[in-house]
């Protein structure tokens, strides 16, 4: 085994630690919280692009060490990018509408339903696409 193979093995091994330990842990935490809070979307999107180009280079060159690490990293980053989209925080308008909806529903439960509140609830639900 020559120096290039030794370094390739070490590089692949350390990359796989990040890929199979770090990324899945973060994906799981995001999933449990249903939030991407505290994560930098720019970092993850940049990592996705980096893995894409390194993976493409590995496949074009036929380098097994790079193929394993970079292709796997790309797919985990892709999952994180999907989570960015799925768990994006609601807009200010959506938050306001959700608050209004909760208040109207609470009022209906406290004093009974009326036509005006029910109309407002239907309107807000349509706006929120519930």
Asked whether 12 and 68 are in contact (CB, 8 A), the reply is yes
pLDDT at 130: 55
Assess contact for 124 and 103: CB atoms under 8 A: no
Tens digits of per-residue pLDDT, 17-65? 888 899 999 999 999 999 888 888 899 999 999 999 999 999 999 988 8
| Mean pLDDT lowest among 55-59, 71-75, 85-89, 120-124 | 120-124
Q: How far, in Å, CA of 61 to CA of 72, rounded?
A: 17
pLDDT at 56: 94
40 or 93, higher pLDDT:
40
What is the mean pLDDT of the segment spanning 66-89? 91
Q: Where are the domains of the chain?
A: 3-86, 92-128
Fold of the 3-86 domain: Monooxygenase (1.20.1280)
Whether residue 76 is predicted with pLDDT greater than 90 in this model: the reply is yes
């Amino acid at each position: 085994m020559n120096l290039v193979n030794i370094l390739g093995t070490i590089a692949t091994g350390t990359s796989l630690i990040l890929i199979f330990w770090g990324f899945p842990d973060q994906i799981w935490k995001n999933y449990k919280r249903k939030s991407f809070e505290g994560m930098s979307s720019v970092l993850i999107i940049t990592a996705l692009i980096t893995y894409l180009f390194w993976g493409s280079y590995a496949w074009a060159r036929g380098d097994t060490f790079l193929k394993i690490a970079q292709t796997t990293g790309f797919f985990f980053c892709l999952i994180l990018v999907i989570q960015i989209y799925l768990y994006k925080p609601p807009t200010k308008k959506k938050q306001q509408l959700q608050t209004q909806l909760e208040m109207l529903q609470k009022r209906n439960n406290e004093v009974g339903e009326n036509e005006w509140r029910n109309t407002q609830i239907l309107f807000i639900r349509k706006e929120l696409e519930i």
